Amino acid sequence: MDKKILKIGHRGAMGHEPENTLRSFKKALALNVDAIELDVYVCKTGELVVIHDDKVDRTTNGIGYTEDKTFVELRQLDAGKGELIPTLEEVLDLVDKSVIVNIELKGRSTAIATYHVIDKYIKEKGWSELDFMVSSFDHHELNKFKHLYPQIPIGVLLEGVPLSYADCAVELNAQSINLSLDFINQDFVDDAHQKGLQVYVYTVNDYDDIAKVKELNIDGIFCNFPERL
């Protein structure tokens, strides 16, 4: 029997809809993902908003830094097809415990802000700790989150392959290590598995690449076109 590989919709289903919008997350759910991945920043007025870049220029009709704008200012922007930049709460309300939500910490102070939102949804809205994953390239921010909420699974994001392979994820007491398609190899996967970690690969969209990474015995794939998985 084939091993179950987690199907993770990257920024929703961004191959089909504007990334990190409710429309994109709805599409991912319609395509039967196991999890959705999204990115968060804290804006000037303190709200946790779902957007990938430190600037709004690429994904909206606005310009300037995400963290320098108030929530009201951000909500006036078009994030594609008339969609608004959502809050993390709006995405969680849409998903409503139907799939895992992988929250990538992008900006400053996102660990504590994310902790408060997750805590509220677990205490007040019936979510469980395993409904969430929190990941980041910023291992200091990730470490902060892990200390605030040790029960929530975390994923260490890496650009390349460290000398010590997956040791950094072990140090952080992570559940998974998430590596780019450009760097993934069998030695890395085997090392991570020996250390009790899951291995997720981003961002794998091409059919040949999907087949290739599946052969490495990985545990999850981030994809812009989740139906291809």
Residue-by-residue pLDDT tens, the chain, 229 positions: 578 999 999 999 999 999 999 999 999 999 999 999 999 999 999 999 999 999 999 999 999 999 999 999 999 999 999 999 999 999 999 999 999 999 999 999 999 999 999 999 999 999 999 999 999 999 999 999 999 999 999 999 999 999 999 999 999 999 999 999 999 999 999 999 999 999 999 999 999 999 999 999 999 999 999 999 9
Name the nearest CA neighbour of 160 among 187, 183, 135, 185.
183
Q: 141 near 163, Cβ under 8 Å?
A: no
* Catalytic residue list contains 193: no
Assign 96 to helix, strand or coil: coil
Per-residue pLDDT at 86: 98
Q: 95 near 89, Cβ under 8 Å?
A: no
* Catalytic residue list contains 52: yes
One of 52, 116, 139, 140 is an active-site residue; which one?
52
Per-residue pLDDT at 3: 83
**pTM: predicted TM-score of the whole model, two decimal places:** 0.98
